[in-house]
Amino acid sequence: MLLSLLTNNLKEGIKIIEKGLTKSPILPVLENIFLKTEDSFLVLKTTNLEIGLIHWILSKNEEMGEICLPSNIFGNLIDSIKDEIITLKKEKNNFLIKGKNFEAKIITQETKDFPIIPLPKKTEETLEIKGSLFCNALSQVVQIPSYSSTRPELSGVLLNFQKDKIEIVGTDSFRLAKKTILKENRLLNDYQFIIPQKTAREIINIFSKEEKIVFYLSNENLFVESFFQEMNHPKTLLVSRLIEGEFPDYKDIIPQKFQTRIFLKSEEFLSQIKSANIFTGRENEISFNIKGKEKKMEISTKNDKLGEYKSFINCQIEGSDLKITFNSKFLIDGILNINQPDLVFQLTNDEGPAVLKPKESDDYLYILMPVKTF
**Three-class secondary structure assignment of 290-355:** EECCCCEEEEEEEECCCEEEEEEEECEEEECCEEEEEEHHHHHHHHHHHCCCEEEEEECCCCCCEE
d(CA 257, CA 229): 47
Residue 24: pLDDT band (50, 70, 90) is: confident
Q: Mean of the pLDDT values across residues 26-53?
A: 95
Q: Mean of the pLDDT values across residues 11-39?
A: 93
d(CA 261, CA 355): 9
The overall longest dimension of the chain from CA atoms, in Å, is 83
Residue 374: pLDDT band (50, 70, 90) is: low
DSSP state at residue 163: S
Q: How far is CA 112 from the centre of its chain?
A: 32
Residue 126: pLDDT band (50, 70, 90) is: very high
Across the chain, what does the average pLDDT equal? 94
- The tens digit of pLDDT for each residue in 40-59 reads 999 999 999 999 999 999 99
- The tens digit of pLDDT for each residue in 157-198 reads 999 999 999 999 999 989 999 999 998 778 889 999 999 999
- The tens digit of pLDDT for each residue in 281-330 reads 777 899 999 999 999 999 999 888 889 999 999 999 999 999 999 999 99
Name all domains of the chain by residue range, CATH numbers in brackets: 2-107 (3.10.150.10), 126-251 (3.10.150.10), 255-368 (3.10.150.10)
CA angle 210, 213, 218 (to 5 degrees): 155
The model's pTM: 0.93
d(CA 3, CA 137): 40
Contacts of 34 (CB under 8 A, 6+ apart): 44, 45, 46, 66, 67, 68, 111, 114
